[in-house]
Structure 1
Amino acid sequence: MHIQEEDTLLFIGDSITDAGRDRTDPASLGSGYVHEIARTLRGRTGTGAGPAVINKGLNGNRVYDLESRWATDVIDHRPTVVTVKIGINDTWRRYDCGLISPVGEFEACLDRLLADTARTLAARLVVITPFLLPVTPGQEDWYEDLSPRTDAVLRAALANGAQVVRADLTLLRAAEEKGAAELAPDGVHPSPYGHRLIADAWLAAIDSGTSDLRP
């Protein structure tokens, strides 16, 4: 997959995608990986232009929240490339308030969103895997829920021909050198450096045209 200037890139997900964007300003991209991707793509044009970029991340979203707003926040914008980053809140809510998101239902919902988007828009699809960098007591236990959920994300991506960005592997490898808190102080929300790593992983995956679907 190669991004063209005439493309419209839409990113949707939870707070990691939101990254503090101004929801009253449609052009706001927040301060996270979406902003970093847009800045890099503009720099490549040499003119400061580049493809249109839309950020529809929303704090606290689980996959079912994405489904409830998919028509207005994705389909209506007619993007040519759609990137989805979701899953950590489906796990987190189990541990902080007992709200269960069964992996089978999660996978079915994500599969519907990807399939409907490909069918309705003929858009190219990109999926960023959820990740966790445990820094607080008990976060290691979250892998019981998150690991099978990540496998579900990979299956849904494969079934729908989506490009995969392995943020989980990228950040875990970096954490071995830098430490988890340097990349995500609370184990979930990336630091500026963590966001840059996600952006670089997205750009590398898109430029190479290959996906890592290993569990």
Structure 2
Amino acid sequence: MKKILLSLSLLILLTSMQIQKTNKIIFFGDSITQAGVNPGGYISMMQDKIKQGVAPKYELIGSGIGGNKIYDLYLRLQEDVLDKKPDVVVIYIGVNDIWHKQGSQTGTDPDKFIAFYSAIIKKLQASNIKVIVCTPAVIGERTDFSNAMDGDLNLYSQMIRNLANTYGCGLIDIRKAFLDYNMVNNPQNKESGILTSDRVHLNQAGNQMLAELMFKGLSK
């Protein structure tokens, strides 16, 4: 009888430990993610909500490096992600792959973007890691589609949506959310200052919106 009670107690304890297990989530990206861990950044905002007990208890890790493109993520995937054994990886990349085409001509062509992105997803899924992909938000906030990179942003965002569908990944459509917000809140067609500080990097409102989008995406 004692052995039965001991076994039942152990089973309850193990079950409780599994329920209370904290999901380790890595945000994998560029300078937007790098800034996300700073005070006022979207990852810091999420951590504040977790500490306050008003959001699910996640362990959040920011792994963003300024200037990174999709192939940079592929090259540091093992050390910065796989070795840390996360439960979930949120991939937020694409702005520099597009933006750097115009400035330094070091952007990423669509076929290479898809190839590297697919390889990353496959490696993560092979390690039983849940993958959530994000579309790039904006490079300029004008609402009349006169931003120079709008065409490529729409193209690469659709490629990411397609990858999510192909590989069964979660999707956080940041581009759509930012465009919808600007259509309502940017009547003066400003280039920045609504959700970004400099056309790309997020201001307080942008970080708050992204934190909410991330929580929503993680809950699906």
Q: TM-score, normalised by structure 2?
A: 0.80
Taking the aligned partners of 1:66 and 1:139, their CA distance within structure 2 comes to 30
Question: Aligned-pair distance for 1:182?
Answer: 2.0
Question: Aligned-pair distance for 1:109?
Answer: 0.6
Say which SS state the counterpart of residue 65 (structure 1) adopts: helix
Question: Aligned-pair distance for 1:127?
Answer: 1.2
Give percent identity, aligned residues only: 24
The structure with the largest alpha-carbon Rg is 2
Q: Among 156, 159, 169, which residue is 1:162 paired with?
A: 169
Q: Which residue of the partner structure matches residue 30 of structure 1?
A: 38
**Paired residues of 2:139 and 2:150 also in contact (CA < 8 A):** no
Taking the aligned partners of 1:5 and 1:39, their CA distance within structure 2 comes to 19
Q: Which residue of the partner structure matches residue 142 of structure 1?
A: 149
CA RMSD of aligned residues (A): 2.3
Q: Among 130, 138, 157, which residue is 2:136 paired with?
A: 130
Which consecutive segments of 4 or more residues in structure 1 shift more than 3 A? none
Q: Among 195, 203, 216, which residue is 1:183 paired with?
A: 195
Structure of higher RCO (CA pairs closer than 8 Å, 6+ residues apart)? 1
Deviation per residue, 1:87-116 (Å, 9 max, x gap): 000000001112231111101111110111
**For residue 131 of structure 2, what is the amino acid of its counterpart?**
L
Unaligned runs of 5+ in 2: 1-18, 187-191
Does the alignment pair 1:119 with 2:129?
no
Q: TM-score, normalised by structure 1?
A: 0.82
Unaligned runs of 5+ in 1: 21-28, 210-215
Gap change, CA 1:164 and 1:117, over 3 Å in 2: same
Does the alignment pair 1:192 with 2:204?
yes
Taking the aligned partners of 1:87 and 1:152, their CA distance within structure 2 comes to 11
**Paired residues of 1:8 and 1:54 also in contact (CA < 8 A):** yes
**For residue 163 of structure 2, what is the amino acid of its counterpart?**
A
